[in-house]
Amino acid sequence: MNVKQSYSSFKNILSKNRVLKRCVYVFILFVFISILAPFIANDKPLVCKYKGQWLFPAFSLKHQAIVNNEIINYNMAKDWKTLETDFAIFPPCAYSPNTIDADNAPRKSPFDEQIMTLKNGQIISIPLKYRHWLGTTQNGNDVLSCIIHGTKTSLSVGIFSMLIAGLLGILLGACAGYFQNNTLKIGYIQVLFLLLSIFISYFFCFIIRADKLSEAFKEGGLGMFFQILLIIYIFIQNTFILLRLGKWIDEKLKTDNRFYLPIDVIISRIIEILNSIPSLLLIIALSAISKPSYSLLIMIIGFLSWTSIARLTRAEYLKAKQLDYVTSCRAIGMSNYRIIAKHILPNVFPLLLVQIIFGLAGAVLIEASLSFIGVGVPLNIITWGSLLNEAREHFSAWWLVVFPGLCVFTLIFIYNKIATEISKLK
Amino acid sequence: MWPYVLKRILWFIPTLFAVTLIGFILLANAPGDGVNSLVMSSNSGGSLKTTQDIEQQKTYWRKQLGLDLPLFYFSICKLSEPDTLYKINDDVELEKAKKHIKTTGGYKNYLPKIVWYGSSNQYHRWLFGGYNSKGIIRGDFGLSISKKEPVIAIIKDKLIWSLFFSILSIILAYAISVPIGIKIARQPESKFSKGSQFILFLMYSMPSFFVGVLLLMLFANPDVLSIFPPSGIKPIGGYDDDTSLLEKFIDSVPYMILPLICYTYSSLAFISKLTATSIQEQLQLDYIKTAKAKGLNEKTIIWKHALKNSALPLITVFSSVFPSIVGGSVIIESIFTIPGMGLETVRAIIAQDYPVVIAIITLSSILTIFSYLLADILYAWIDPRIRITK
């Protein structure tokens, strides 16, 4: 199935199911808001004319501009609103999430009278276009702007962690379900080489490169991601080479000492162990041990939540293995890899997708919960959860509870609804 | 029955072992020098004047906490490293030694070796006990760094509160959602079932912290409605000595209502949906027709016949609801300041008191494993087919 076909079938499904259609549209809206956040909520104007020169501060990557030998710093928050520009178009929400509006500082409600100090010291009631539509926080951050920029965090944590979890879960679940305990034969020499490869890979990954690893994990971000990829690569490569070597020796010696590799038992045990540790507690502990960052959080959630996907994949592959089309595939001598990836996977994927979307909702919930209790997430970034956290001490600030809470609720609700609607399709 | 139970229990031993290993790896990688903060906080009076005294104290505490032992039964290290490298406790000295090894090691830096330490290591001591420790199998989780008390003494009361709330909320969830599920199964097209399904689905998508803060804002806020107390579990000032247990309980009821709502609401949707689908399946089977033909009334048919046969998935849910409640307690307890394990976890992480954190994780994992075990045994007890086939 090519892209055009799948797009048209997707459209077909949407036109039949109105609830699903609406949910998908709201999700797309969320995605657009997260991508366009800097142009929807920014304290710099999109376009302005200052002393006869056109400026585009919101789109500019530089931090300052020179007009008539006067240096204008783009990041001076208050400046743009009090600057005597000839003409300026501000984004719909004229504040950045980290802009601190000291005039409306300790928690102004959306209906309170909001004020603004002009450059000459005159205090006026705030113009409509600069109003804090959803109120302000304790420090004077604009709630609407924080919510708009928080969309990106919530969406990306969910999507990227589920990407990891989905890949891992489908791979391991498919191996467990398809090979079970009685398909893959392995010689004793090969097992010996497998253990040897784990030993050697461990040594080369963690002992020799210990300094670089700890450095990368302290810094976090892309470097850490690269290190993890490297570790996975070293493990896979070593295992592959040594297994081949073991097989070659096995064939030379012509030993008959072969037994079935109990892949199903091994993977099921791993799933059971991971399931028995309360994942929220483990995530809190892990992210407290290392320096909090979102890339680490994504990886932790990804590497812990693949189990439910793997369990479902295993069950589906077990079922599919009994069906006639798989038997006939095997009868004509197709390779196991081809059967797993090209014949069974497309058949069971819609079901797995449901589970992955439910997982998305779970990941969003975990991220929001962590930033709500303020553990394991970078504290300088304001998200939906951390806005709610501020309301805990001041119950009178209802706008800090209702708006971010509704955002989290809406996103989770949409994910859950999409998942249930997809599962009802058949 | 018993061989099956025994087999299950034997299967759970490796799981338990792996869970403790994960806990230990976390503990060993925790940042910060626990001994340093322990000695420094006890030295706040200034009793230890010279650096030599401080070093002596540190060595003493290292021995007491077993930190002078190797980490694990064996270690994989470079061929050029001596097998007593673990004895250097100072980070700066260790760095120096490693640098020296790196420059003088030559080709030996790139060859692995395994060193066997035997049973006198930190993991063995932590798990089975050893010098000055009884091990976690006898309930000794070590010493809390920030409070300088045994961890188990700190956790004990907290565990009771967490267990109390989670068990009560599980019972409540079943008591509310099974009847709802049955009602939905009997008339799936009625207004009640459609409405309740929609409301339950909305509740299922509500994050618990949102609901918690919302409840506090509405019902414990002097500006709106001040029905319930905002935090804690007992009246401020505690009880008099002569109050009876019943009176204590009655006094605490208003403190429990909001947290219990928070604990319970999210599992309602799940359990009622499951009840509805499994009872609907049962209602189409022949034995229900027979029972109807016999002239039994519908109540008996559903509550006595169908529900018994659809109990299996409900038990499975029980074992999966428990871990989620343990995890969720972190959030709910910190909203309502219930002195349970969740709040203690947050406190310990902020105070960098890692022995407590790891003890809580290990303990709750062990509890979860036991709930799985319990579910498995219940399974076999209800459905005899499972004992034979597995």
Written in H, E and C, the secondary structure of A16-58 is HCHHHHHHHHHHHHHHHHHHHHHHHECCCCCEEEECCEEECCC
Does residue B360 belong to the interface with chain A, where contact is any CB pair within 8 Å? Answer: yes
Give the amino acid at A176.
A
pLDDT of residue A229: 86
Residue A389 has pLDDT above 60, yes or no: yes
Residue B361 has pLDDT above 90, yes or no: no
Residue A191 has pLDDT above 60, yes or no: yes
Mean pLDDT of all residues belonging to chain A: 85
Nearest by CB to A413, from B205, B223, B350: name it.
B205
Q: Which residues of A touch B354 (CB under 8 A)?
A: 289
CB contact under 8 A, A286 and B372: no
pLDDT of residue A358: 93
Chain A residue closest in CA terms to B369: A276
State the first-to-last Cα distance of chain B, in angstroms, to the nearest integer: 11
Cβ-based neighbours of B126, under 8 Å, separated by 6 or more = B24, B27, B66, B133, B135, B136, B142
Handedness of CA A173, A175, A181, A182 (dihedral sign): positive
Which residues, listed in sequence order, are joined to residue A260 by a DSSP beta bridge? A185
- Mean pLDDT across the stretch B101-124? 83
Question: Nearest CA to CA, how far is B5 from chain A (Å)?
Answer: 18
Mean pLDDT of all residues belonging to chain B: 82
Q: Answer whether B355's CB lies under 8 Å from B145's CB.
A: yes
Chain B residue closest in CA terms to A277: B365
Does residue A379 belong to the interface with chain B, where contact is any CB pair within 8 Å? Answer: no
If pLDDT is split at 50, 70 and 90, which confidence band does B242 have? low
- Mean pLDDT across the stretch B308-318? 78
Integer-rounded Cα Rg, in Å, for chain A is: 28
- The percent of residues above 70 in pLDDT, for chain B, comes to 94
Residue B38 has pLDDT above 80, yes or no: no
CB contact under 8 A, B207 and A200: no
User: Could you tell me the residue ranges of all domains in chain A?
Assistant: 1-42+141-184+261-426, 44-140, 188-253
A286 vs B42, higher pLDDT: A286
pLDDT of residue B48: 66
Residue A77 has pLDDT above 60, yes or no: no
What is the location of CATH 1.10.3720.10 in chain B? 151-382
DSSP reduced 3-state for A232: helix
CB contact under 8 A, A408 and B350: no
Residue B31 has pLDDT above 70, yes or no: yes
Handedness of CA A133, A137, A139, A141 (dihedral sign): negative
Q: Answer whether B211's CB lies under 8 Å from B219's CB.
A: no
Interatomic CA distance for residues A423 and A331, integer angstroms: 32
Residue A359 has pLDDT above 80, yes or no: yes
A312 vs A6, higher pLDDT: A312
Single pTM value for the model:
0.88
The closest alpha carbon to B249, from B168, B135, B184, belongs to B168
pLDDT of residue B238: 61
pLDDT of residue A360: 94
If pLDDT is split at 50, 70 and 90, which confidence band does B239 have? low
Chain B residue closest in CA terms to A420: B201
Residue B177 has pLDDT above 80, yes or no: yes
A47-51, A327-331, B140-144: lowest mean pLDDT where? A47-51
Give the CA distances from residue A414 to residues A11, A22, A155, A294, A409, in Å, rounded to whole numbers and listed in that order: 18, 9, 12, 23, 8
pLDDT of residue A426: 65
Does residue B349 belong to the interface with chain A, where contact is any CB pair within 8 Å? Answer: yes
Instruction: Tell me the helices (H) and strands (E) count for chain A, helix number first.
Output: 16, 9
Phi first, then psi: what are they for A269, rounded to 5°? -65, -45
CB pairs under 8 A between A and B: 141
Which residues, listed in sequence order, are joined to residue A65 by a DSSP beta bridge? A72
Chain B residue closest in CA terms to A375: B346
A408 vs B242, higher pLDDT: A408
Residue B241 has pLDDT above 70, yes or no: no
If pLDDT is split at 50, 70 and 90, which confidence band does A76 have? low
- The percent of residues above 90 in pLDDT, for chain B, comes to 4
Residue A159 has pLDDT above 90, yes or no: yes
pLDDT in tens, B191-218: 998 999 899 999 989 998 999 888 888 8
- Mean pLDDT across the stretch A51-61? 75
CB contact under 8 A, B205 and A409: yes
A 396-425 near B (Cβ less than 8 A) = 396, 398, 401-402, 405, 408-409, 412-413, 416-417, 420
Cβ-based neighbours of A321, under 8 Å, separated by 6 or more = A177, A178, A180, A344
Does residue A265 belong to the interface with chain B, where contact is any CB pair within 8 Å? Answer: no
ipTM of the complex: 0.85
Interatomic CA distance for residues A408 and A382, integer angstroms: 14
Which residues, listed in sequence order, are joined to residue B360 by a DSSP beta bridge? none
B 371-390 near A (Cβ less than 8 A) = 372
Does residue B365 belong to the interface with chain A, where contact is any CB pair within 8 Å? Answer: yes
Nearest by CB to A369, from B209, B214, B223: name it.
B209
DSSP reduced 3-state for A117: strand
Q: Which CATH superfamily is domain A1-42+141-184+261-426 in?
A: MetI-like (1.10.3720.10)
If pLDDT is split at 50, 70 and 90, which confidence band does B252 have? confident
If pLDDT is split at 50, 70 and 90, which confidence band does A79 have? low
Q: How far is CA A40 from the centre of its chain?
A: 22
pLDDT in tens, B263-282: 888 888 888 988 898 888 88
Which residues, listed in sequence order, are joined to residue B226 by a DSSP beta bridge? B220
Give the CA distances from residue A340 to residues A176, A336, B84, in Å, rounded to whole numbers and listed in that order: 11, 6, 49
- Mean pLDDT across the stretch A167-171? 94
- The percent of residues above 90 in pLDDT, for chain A, comes to 29
CB contact under 8 A, A285 and B14: no
Handedness of CA B376, B380, B386, B389 (dihedral sign): positive
CB contact under 8 A, B330 and A281: yes
Secondary structure (H, E, C), B235-271: CCCCCCCCCCHHHHHHHHHHHHHHHHHHHHHHHHHHH
Does residue B209 belong to the interface with chain A, where contact is any CB pair within 8 Å? Answer: yes
pLDDT in tens, A224-275: 888 888 898 998 999 899 988 888 888 888 777 778 888 898 999 899 888 8
The CATH architecture to which B151-382 belongs is Orthogonal Bundle (1.10)
Residue B160 has pLDDT above 80, yes or no: yes
pLDDT of residue B389: 56
Show the tokens assigned to B301.
């048919």
Residue A145 has pLDDT above 80, yes or no: yes
Integer-rounded Cα Rg, in Å, for chain B is: 28
Residue A339 has pLDDT above 90, yes or no: yes
Q: Where are the alpha helices (DSSP H) in A305-392?
A: 306-321, 324-331, 336-338, 345-373, 384-391
Q: Answer whether A151's CB lies under 8 Å from A37's CB.
A: yes
Does residue A268 belong to the interface with chain B, where contact is any CB pair within 8 Å? Answer: no
Does residue A384 belong to the interface with chain B, where contact is any CB pair within 8 Å? Answer: no
A142-156, A160-174, A196-210, B58-72: lowest mean pLDDT where? B58-72
Interatomic CA distance for residues A113 and A115, integer angstroms: 7
pLDDT in tens, B70-87: 888 888 888 888 877 777
Handedness of CA A58, A75, A293, A137 (dihedral sign): negative
